[in-house]
Structure 1
C-alpha cells in the first residue's frame, strides 16, 4: 500500500489541514461491479506482486486519469522520485484479485518536478497514465468548470470501506456534496467519503463528468468525513497534453450542479440563494421554498454536522431533525450553553429549554449520527433529535460515545471504541447502523442479493455472505425450504434466480 505523507491543500485561501496519503475505498459506500471506466492503477514489484494500489478513470482509449502521488515514490521524508512507467499497471474490472484485463503503462504525464507535496497543496495532484495497449474500458469526459459549494458528486474507488479494517481492492461508490472550494482544490463532506486506496479515483458531477480526482484526507484512520480532491478543470491543460482536445458533450443548461453546456460555468442562468423562484428547477441549489411567506431559492444544510456550509451572509435555519435551510442572516453571537431567548441568538441557530427553567443555546445531534464536539456526547432522551452535552462525571455514556470498556456505556456494550447496544434485527439500531452478531454497528445493512465482503456487512434480513455465481452476496438461510421474492432455496440458502 502507498505510504506517502501528504501536506495540507492550500490555494487562494488555505484549508488548514494536514493529511495522509491514501490508496483510498469508499466509507459508507455501495459495493458495485458496474462503472467499468473506473479502473485500478497499481504498482508492481519485479515478481508482479501489487505493492501500491490506487484508482483511476478512463479518459482515452489508452489513457487513465489518476493522482500524481500514485505515480511517485517517497524515497525519504518529503523527497520523491517518479515510478518507472513499466512498474505501473492498469486493471479493468471491479476486484483487484481478478481483473478482467491488465495493461502495462508505457508513459506518464504529470506536472513538472518531483515536489509532490507542493503539487498536492496547490491542486496539481493529477497525472495521466498511458497504456501500451487499448484498455477497452468506456470513457468519461472531464469537467471544464470548477464545482460550487453544495454541488452533489458521486465518488468511486477501490480503497478501504471501513475505519476499522485495512481491506481494500473492491470497487465501491458513494454520494456526497462539495463543502469547500479553493483554487485548484475542493473538499466534500457527507454520508460517504474516500479512504486509503481511493486516491486517483473520480468525483463525478451531476451529468457524469469527472470534476475531481481523489487527493487526500485528514487522518489515516479515515474517521473524518471531509476529504479533498484536485480540481480537474484547473488541470485541463495537462490532461489535453496527453489526450488532445478533451471532448465535452453540450446539453441544455439546467439547475443541477453541473456545467451542462460546456461553457465553463456551473448552472449559469439559475437563481442564486435568496432569489425569487417558482420551482426547484429554477434554483442553483435545486430547492425553492417559502421563506417569510415568499418562495425563494434556498440551500439545504445540516445543523448537526455542518456537512453543507451556508455561504457568507446566510445561516442554517433548523427545520427538523438534521434538516435545515440556508436563509439570509448572520449567526447569533451566543455560544453553546449561553442563555438565549430565540434561535437567532445562537451561533448554532438552536435555543432550547434548560433544566433550570430558562433557555440556552445548544447543538443538535442524532443518536449514532453526527459527532459532537470533543468532551460532549449526544443525549437524545429517547427522541429522534438530541443535543450535545457535557457528560456528568461517573454517569454511563449514551450510544455512539467514545468508550474504553462496557461499563462506560448505558447499555454495557463498548464495540470498536464506541458505545453500542444489543439487537436482534436491523430496525432496533439507529439510522445508518445495522445489527451484526447481535450488536448495533455503523453502516447501512446490505439487502438480499447485495455484494458483500463478509457477513458483518449483511443485514438481519439476509445475514449470510455466500458465493453465488462467482460473486459474494448477502443471502438468507432457508432451513424450511422456502424463500421470498422469487429467490430459490439451494443448499440451505436463498439465492437469486438465474
Structure 2
C-alpha cells in the first residue's frame, strides 16, 4: 500500500518535535474556518481544548468533549506518547493535560493557571496502537459547569449520515484559530473495514469521511447533525501532501480521507469511566421528524456489534493523527 504521510508535527516521536519553519502559533487574522468551516457558538461549549505539556513545555493541543462534570472524551493518541507508525509508547501523566473550556480557551494558552481543569486519571483501551482503538477518557481534578454532550452508545454511524465537526484545529492558512470552529454537512463515506483504501487501512470500529478536520482537531467530536450526539472521535487522516511551509495543505481537497473512531464500539471503557466517577451518560435524544420529501429514503444507523474492540489488523500504512504540536522555543511557531 502507498503510505499516506504528512509533515505535521504529529508525526514526530520526540514530545517537542515539529517541522522546521512551520508556523503553528495562534492565528491573529480573521479566518472563519476549521477547514472551510464557521465559528462555533456557545451551544457547543462542551467541546473543549486540551493543552498537552511535557517537562514544563507545551508540546501540543487536542480537542475533547465534556461528557460528565469531571470527564472529557478525546483521542487515545492525545494522552499518550507516540512510537513509530501508529504505535504508542505509554500514557502521559494525567496532570500534564490541561482542559480549557469556552470559546476563548485559546487566550492565555501558555499560562497553566488559566486552565479550567487538569487531568487526574485516564481510561484507555489496552491496545498499544491508535489503529482501531483511538479513544480515551480523561477524569479531571474539578467539576466543569458546562453542559455535558450527549453520546450515541447503542448504534453505529451509517453510510451517508450527516455530521457536524467541531474543534480547535488549524485553519485553511495553517494556523490555529483564536476561536473554536465547526463544519456542518459532512457525510460518512464508509464504515468499518469497508472504509479501507489502497492508501491506508480502516479498522472495524472506525469510519471514514472526507475533508473537514486538521491538526489540533484530534479527539474532537463528530456530531450527528440530527441529534447533536457524539458518534465519533477525530483520529487521523490526510491527502498525502507534504508541505513544510503549509500544515493545512495536508487537510484540504477532494483526496482527503479522515478516519474517526466510533464511540458506540467502546462502551465498556465509557461505562468504566462513568461508574468510577459516579456520573451518568447523557443519552442521544430522539431525532426530529425529517421534512416530508415524498418517497425519499434516508440512512439509518445500524445496531452495534460486540461491545469490545475486535482483534487489531496489521497497519500497512501511516495516516497522521490530527494532533498539533508546537515547535521548540527556538523554532518558528
Band of TM-score, shorter chain: 0.5 to 0.7
Specify the alignment match of 2:257 in structure 1.
Answer: 226
Aligned-CA RMSD value: 2.8
* Structure 2 CA distance for partners of 1:109 and 1:186, relative to 1, 3 Å: same
For structure 1, which runs of at least 5 residues remain unmatched after alignment? 7-24, 257-279, 282-286, 289-295, 301-498
1:53 Cα deviation from its structure 2 partner: 0.5
Matched, 1:200 2:219: yes
- Between Structure 1 and Structure 2, whose CA radius of gyration is higher? 1
C-alpha distance in 2 between matches for 1:156 and 1:249: 17
2:227/2:284 contact within 8 Å kept: no
Paired with 1:146 and 1:154, the residues of 2 have a C-alpha distance of 16
1:85 aligned to 94, 100, 105, which one?
Answer: 94
1:249/1:184 Cα in 2 relative to 1: closer, same or farther (>3 Å)? closer
2-side partners of 1:167 and 1:181: how far apart?
30
Change (3 A) 1:153 1:87: same
Q: In the aligned structure 2, how far is the partner of 1:30 from the partner of 1:66? A: 22
Equivalent residues of 2:67, 2:282 under 8 A apart:
no
- TM-score w.r.t. structure 2 length? 0.64
Residue of structure 1 in register with 2:236 after alignment: 216
2:34 is paired with a residue of what secondary structure? strand
Corresponding residue for residue 367 of structure 1: none
Residue 246 of structure 2 corresponds to which residue in structure 1? none
C-alpha spacing 1:3/1:64, structure 2 compared with 1 (3 Å): same
Cα distance between partner residues in 1 of 2:159 and 2:12: 27
Show structure 2 runs of 5+ residues with no match. Answer: 1-7, 14-32, 193-203, 243-249, 300-333
Describe the SS at the equivalent of 2:216. Answer: strand
Matches within 5 A, 1:87-166: 87-94=96-103, 95-98=105-108, 101-113=115-127, 115-116=128-129, 119-120=130-131, 122=132, 124-144=133-153, 145-162=155-172, 164-166=173-175
For residue 195 of structure 1, give the secondary structure of its aligned residue in structure 2.
Answer: coil
Q: CA deviation at 1:174?
A: 0.6
Deviation at 1:50, TM superposition (A): 2.3
Structure having the larger proportion of residues in strand: 1
Contact 1:57 1:202 in 2 (8 A): yes
CA–CA separation in structure 2 for the residues paired with 1:27 and 1:218: 12
Matches within 5 A, 1:41-440: 41-47=50-56, 49-75=57-83, 78-94=87-103, 95-98=105-108, 101-113=115-127, 115-116=128-129, 119-120=130-131, 122=132, 124-144=133-153, 145-162=155-172, 164-168=173-177, 170-175=179-184, 176-182=186-192, 183-189=204-210, 193-205=212-224, 206-219=226-239, 221-223=250-252, 224-244=255-275, 246-248=281-283, 251=286, 280-281=291-292, 287-288=293-294, 296-298=295-297
Secondary structure at the counterpart of residue 207 of structure 1: coil
CA distance in 2, matches of 1:185, 1:249: 19
Closer/same/farther in 2, CA of residues 39 and 130 from structure 1, 3 Å limit: same
Higher relative contact order (CA 8 A, sep 6+): 2
